[in-house]
C-alpha cells in the first residue's frame, strides 16, 4: 500500500529566497504526522507544493501513490486542505459554502446533502449553518473550513497551522477532533509551530528549519535520541557571563555531566545534559558552593520536544521564532504566494 504522502528532495525558490532547500519525508496511512518548525521555516511552502498551489522547482511529491507534479488533477481528489488563513465567502451561509465545495468535488447532490448535514452536526455547526459566514467567530470559521476539507471523505487531511489564533478550549476541541479522524482511518498531516501541539497529537514528526528537515521520527524516539535528562540552572536571576563561564568549566568536570550550554537568551542560564537516572541536583549545588557561586534555581526534567528541537537546530523554537519575526517581510511573501 502506497504511503499517504511521499516527499523527496523538494526544492522551491521564490525569487532569490530559498523557501525550501531540501525537504524529504514520508507520511504513512492512518497516522498523524506533524511538521514542526518556526514561522518561515518552509512548512507552508512545502504544504503549498503538496496541495498543487505552488510549483516545486525540483523533487518528487506523491499523494496516495499519485504524483502531484504529473497528475495534479487526480491527486487533488485524495486530500482535503485546511488553509492557514481561512478564506470564506462572507456573503454565503455555511451551508451554501459547503454546497459549493461539494460541487467542486463533484459529489452527487443527494450524497452532498447528507454529508453536509453529517459534518455540520459532527462539528457542532448545526445552529450556524444558515448564518452568513461573515458573522462567524474564529473558532466557527475554522470548524467550517474543517468541514469543507472533509466533505469528499479524503484519505488525507492537510492542515496548515490549524490552531493559530484559537483560544485554548477551541484548540483542545480541534485536537480531539483530529484524533477522532485518525481513529476513523483518515491520515492527518499538520504543520505547527506549537511544540505542545505536535507533542500531543503527532505519531511522527519532522523538524523543519531554514528549508531543511533536521530530524524525523516519533516524539519518544526523538527524545530518546537526544540522550540524558536535562538540568536547567540559574546561578542568579540574571547571571554575569563570566560567572556562567566559571560554572560551566566547573560542572564539565563532573562525571555524569555530558554537556553544558550557556543560554544567552535566558539571562545566561545553563542547560546541562546529564546521564539518565542519576541524582545530580545536590552534587551540582555543592559543586557550585565549593567555588563560591549561589544557586537561584535548579530543575531536572526528561528531554522535551524543545530539547529535541534545540539539539537539531542549535536554538530553541522560541528563539527561532523571534529571529524569524525580525527578518520576515510578510507582505512580500503574500505577494509571492499569490504569484506562483
Partner 1 sequence: MSQSILPNSSNSLAPNPALAEMTTGENELANFVQETLALTQRLFIQLQRRPSTLMAGVIQPLMWLILFGALFYKAPQGLFGFDVNYGQFLAPGIIVFTAFSGALNAGLPVMFDREFGFLNRLLVAPLTTRYSIVAASTLYIIALAFIQTGVIVGASALLGAGLPGIGGLIAIATIVFLIVLGVTALSLGLAFALPGHIELIAVIFVTNLPLLFASTALAPLSFMANWLKWVASFNPLTYAIEPIRYLYFNSDWGLNSVVMTAPWGEMNFAVVLTVLVLFDGVVLALIQPLLRRRFA
Q: In the complex, which residues of this chain contact partner 1 (CB under 8 A)?
A: 51-53, 55, 72-74, 76-79, 81, 83, 85, 87-89, 91-92, 96, 99-101, 103-108, 111, 114-115, 118-119, 122, 132, 148, 150, 152-156, 180-181, 183-187, 335, 338-339
Number of CB atoms found within 10 A of residue 256's CB: 17
Question: What is the residue whose three cell numbers read 545534559?
Answer: 273
Label residues 168-196 b or e (16+ Cβ within 10 Å = b). Answer: eebbebbbebbeebbeeebbbbbbbbbbe
Among the listed residues 116, 124, 189, the one whose alpha carbon sits nearest the alpha carbon of residue 153: 116
- The answer to whether residues 174 and 166 touch, using CB atoms and an 8 Å cutoff, is yes
Measured from the CB atom, is 51 or 288 closer to partner 1? 51
H helix or E strand, kind and range, residue 268: none
CB of 202 to partner 1, least distance (A): 18
Q: How many CB atoms lie within 10 A of CB 233?
A: 25
Closest approach of partner 1 to the CB of residue 26, in Å: 18
Residue number with CB closer to partner 1 (156 or 235): 156
- In the complex, minimum distance from the CB of residue 39 to partner 1, in angstroms, rounded to a whole number: 17
Q: How far apart are CA 161 and CA 149, in angstroms?
A: 14
Nearer to partner 1, 134 or 240 (CB): 134
Report the distance separating Cα 330 and Cα 328, nearest Å. Answer: 6
Pick the closer one to partner 1 by CB: 159 or 320.
Answer: 159
Residue (63 or 274) nearer to partner 1, CB: 63
DSSP state letter for 132: B
Q: How far is the CB of 41 from partner 1 (least distance, A)?
A: 21
Amino acid at each position: 500500500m502506497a504511503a499517504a504522502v511521499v516527499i523527496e528532495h523538494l526544492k522551491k525558490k521564490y525569487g532569490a529566497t530559498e523557501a525550501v532547500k531540501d525537504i524529504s519525508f514520508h507520511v504513512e496511512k492512518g497516522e498523524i504526522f506533524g511538521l514542526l518548525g518556526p514561522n518561515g521555516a518552509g512548512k507552508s511552502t512545502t504544504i503549498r507544493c503538496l496541495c498543487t498551489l505552488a510549483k516545486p522547482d525540483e523533487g518528487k511529491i506523491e499523494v496516495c501513490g499519485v504524483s502531484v507534479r504529473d497528475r495534479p488533477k487526480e491527486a487533488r481528489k485524495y486530500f482535503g486542505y485546511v488553509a492557514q488563513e481561512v478564506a470564506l465567502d462572507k456573503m454565503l451561509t455555511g451551508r451554501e459554502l459547503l454546497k459549493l465545495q461539494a460541487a467542486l468535488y463533484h459529489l452527487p447532490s443527494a450524497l452532498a446533502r447528507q454529508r453536509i448535514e453529517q459534518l455540520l452536526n459532527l462539528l457542532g455547526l448545526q445552529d450556524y449553518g444558515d448564518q452568513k459566514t461573515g458573522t462567524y467567530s474564529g473558532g466557527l470559521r475554522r470548524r467550517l473550513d474543517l468541514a469543507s476539507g472533509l466533505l469528499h471523505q479524503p484519505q488525507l487531511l492537510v492542515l496548515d497551522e490549524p490552531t493559530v489564533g484559537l483560544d485554548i478550549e477551541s484548540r483542545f476541541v480541534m485536537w480531539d477532533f483530529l484524533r477522532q479522524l485518525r481513529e476513523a482511518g483518515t491520515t492527518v498531516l499538520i504543520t505547527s509551530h506549537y511544540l505542545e501541539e505536535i507533542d500531543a497529537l503527532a505519531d511522527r514528526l519532522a523538524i523543519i528549519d531554514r528549508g531543511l528537515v533536521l530530524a524525523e521520527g516519533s516524539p519518544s524516539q526523538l527524545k530518546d535520541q537526544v540522550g540524558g535528562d536535562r538540568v536547567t540552572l540559574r546561578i542568579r536571576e540574571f547571571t554575569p557571563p563570566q560567572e556562567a563561564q566559571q560554572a560551566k568549566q566547573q560542572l564539565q568536570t563532573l562525571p555524569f555531566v555530558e554537556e553544558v550550554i550557556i543560554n544567552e537568551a535566558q539571562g545566561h542560564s545553563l542547560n546541562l545534559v546529564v546521564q539518565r537516572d542519576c541524582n545530580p541536583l545536590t552534587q551540582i549545588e555543592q559543586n557550585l558552593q565549593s567555588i563560591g557561586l549561589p544557586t537561584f534555581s535548579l530543575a531536572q526534567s526528561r528531554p522535551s520536544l524543545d530539547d529535541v528541537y534545540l539539539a537539531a537546530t542549535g536554538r530553541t523554537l522560541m528563539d527561532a521564532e523571534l529571529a524569524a519575526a525580525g527578518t520576515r517581510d510578510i507582505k512580500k511573501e503574500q505577494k509571492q504566494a499569490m504569484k506562483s
